[in-house]
Structure 1
Amino acid sequence: MKSIKYLKLALFALVIGLSATSCMDEDWTDPTGEVAPFGNNQLQETNVVSIADLKAKYGAQLKDVVNDTVRIADGVQIKGRVTGNDISGNIYSQVMIEDATGGIIISVAQGGINGQLQLGQEILVDLGGLYYGVYRTQPQLGIPYTDFKKNQTYPSRISRAEWQTRFKILGKPDASLVVPHVFETSEISTLNDETVAQKYSGQIVTLKGVEFDTADGTVTFAPEAEGATTGHGVTRYFKGYTGQKKQIGIRTSCYAKFAAEKLPKGKLNVTGILTVYKTSATSSYGTTVQLVLRTLSDIEVLEPEKNQPAEEK
């Protein structure tokens, strides 16, 4: 009798299993994983403009403005490859994309973006109804936020739910296609020209042969105590670019995984997303050019012996 009972239970389990498999076969239409499980797979390319053209059209409406936004026309799309995300915590609530003409920062109220948008992932983005804006002259895409005390409007973060309807994954990520624009040592000073700096803002660039001004073996990237008075981020400048009208360096979040690491000494090749900031449109302090590192490996140490303790040399 027990054998018959167990046989009935086994047959029942088999029927249930077959039913579940049948449902899965009918509902799971992408067993190969070709359709992304996030984003909006229904988006189609209809009105893709280049990032350079987007900046030219909407940036012209914000000329000489430090903080403001302008609505993007319905139907406008851009397509680009991810060059920066929050993989190390240094980039927060932003994703950077780039096409053959330029780069742009998109502000998104979402953590863990790197899990969905890896470096080298190409995406299509629907911008219609969103806003092109500048924060201290740095272009960004998002939604407007108004600081009524200062009577200024800034580009702020798109909600996580809204963002999921706005982008579509195109193919598979290929980090080898993220190729920085290289500034040789003799060319870096051209970034002190605001027109040149703005041309490359939002793009991934490499500055070759630079050296941190304060690297002495003890100074770290972004100590919390120092960042507490500077918006939880610290700027470290390169030698020769610390003056009030020629500031070039890196900006590091106090929450970055490498914030407590010591600044490397000696000559370096530094790669990062180039950003441009001014305190006002007519600021006598000129333009501050800041690179934002994706990970600590964005720094190539050319003189590693300078970073070794004396007893290990």
Structure 2
Amino acid sequence: MQLKLLLICFLGLTISACVKNDDYQIPDITAPVPEYTGSIISFAQLKAKTSSSIATYTDDEAVEGYVISSDEGRNITKKLYLQNADNTQGIVIALADEGIYTQFPLGSKVRVLLKDLSFQLNNAVITIGYDTYKSKKGYQSVGYMPKALVEKHLFALGEKKTVAQLTTTLNSLEVSDADVGKLLGIKNVQFEARAVGKSFYVSNKKSGAGTNYKLIDSNGKSLLLRTSNSALFKDEKVPAGKVRVTGILSKFGKDYQLMISYYSDLQF
């Protein structure tokens, strides 16, 4: 009887030993950040090196910033917006993959190793990516960074700030190029009358991949709120009355546009 028990225990231990840890790996969200011996520069220093022309970064330098966007709500996709510690400037990383919010959640501090990446000042914001993207119409911009490069160039540092700490609050819709790429909180605004009751995204030839509605403040100044055709909240109805909006300011041509990550970024 004792011999049978010993055999059973031995077989159990043998089977357990044959199971590789790799088969049951759980992602290590606290993985150590690789040692970095280059220089950490500010967003302002990076901007001083940036122009409207696409270039490849050659210096062994990095920037650090806090995540102010999330692609979980699918309104802002293939982009990761970072803001500096004093909330005065933002940059955007062009990414080939989606679902990046699990790796770089809202508020987390991220280091970006710049060497060998492409960078450009595009629509008033520094854009970082890989190589060059060429549209069918011949337009060129910084290309999307593939996952393999993201793993070599972007690192979560384990620090975090709240959305409130990262938000610059405005009392009006008066914005400028200096605000592009930043997380803004705008109080006491309302949607233009023609938008109220409509879906946030309306499919038509004019709207293309997104729908714009005007936000209007008490002084009559306006700012576009853009909703993507992939946003999870695209079928929600535009509310009447005063709202507070928290979103990232972007620019397309001459138009400033506010983009929200979640439907809950609208408070009414």
Band of TM-score, shorter chain: 0.7 to 0.9
TM-score, length-normalised on structure 2? 0.85
Residues 68, 163 of structure 2: 8 Å contact kept: no
In 2, Cα distance between the equivalents of 1:139 and 1:290? 16
Contact 1:69 1:131 in 2 (8 A): yes
Q: Aligned pair 1:267/2:242, yes or no? A: yes
Matched, 1:207 2:202: no
Residues paired across the two proteins, number: 261
Say whether the 8 Å CA contact 1:118–1:173 is kept in structure 2.
no
* Residue matched to 1:65: none
Structure having the higher strand fraction is 2
Gaps (5+ residues) in structure 2?
A: none
Q: Which residue of 1 aligns with 2:120?
A: 133
Q: Corresponding residue for 1:253?
A: 228
Q: Does 1:35 align with 2:30?
A: yes
Q: 1:115 aligns with which of 102, 124, 130?
A: 102
CA distance in 2, matches of 1:233, 1:34: 34
- TM-aligned CA distance change 1:106 to 1:20, over 3 Å: same
Structure number with higher helix proportion:
1
Matched, 1:293 2:256: no
**Contact residue 110 and residue 156 of structure 2 kept, 8 A:** yes
Aligned-partner SS, 2:130: strand
* TM-score, structure 1 as length reference: 0.73
Shift of the 107–146 alpha-carbon distance from structure 1 to 2, 3 Å rule, reads: closer
Select which of 131, 144, 153 maps to 1:157. Answer: 144
Q: What code does the residue aligned with 2:9 have?
A: A
Aligned to 2:72: 87
Runs of 4+ aligned residues of structure 1 deviating over 6 Å after TM superposition are none
CA pair 148-88 structure 1, distance change in 2 beyond 3 A: closer
CA shift digits 1:256-312 (9 cap, x unpaired):
11101011111111110111221xxxxxxxx211111010111121xxxxxxxxxxx
Per-residue CA deviation, residues 159-212 of structure 1 (Å, 9 max, x unaligned), is 111111101221244435642111113xx22x2xxxxx2212111011221111
1:229: Cα distance to partner?
Answer: 4.1
Residue 153 of structure 1: how far off its partner (Å) = 1.6
- Give the superposed CA RMSD: 3.0
Q: For residues 224-281 of structure 1, what are the alpha-carbon distances to aligned partners after superposition, in whole Å with 9 as ceiling and x for unaligned?
A: x23x54331111112379x9xx762111111111101011111111110111221xxx
Pair 1:221 & 2:220 matched: no
Counterpart-to-counterpart distance in 2, 1:85 and 1:45: 30
CA pair 170-136 structure 1, distance change in 2 beyond 3 A: closer
Q: CA deviation at 1:43?
A: 4.3
Matched-pair identity in %: 25
Aligned AA (1:105) = V
Q: Which of 239, 264, 268 pairs up with 2:216? A: 239
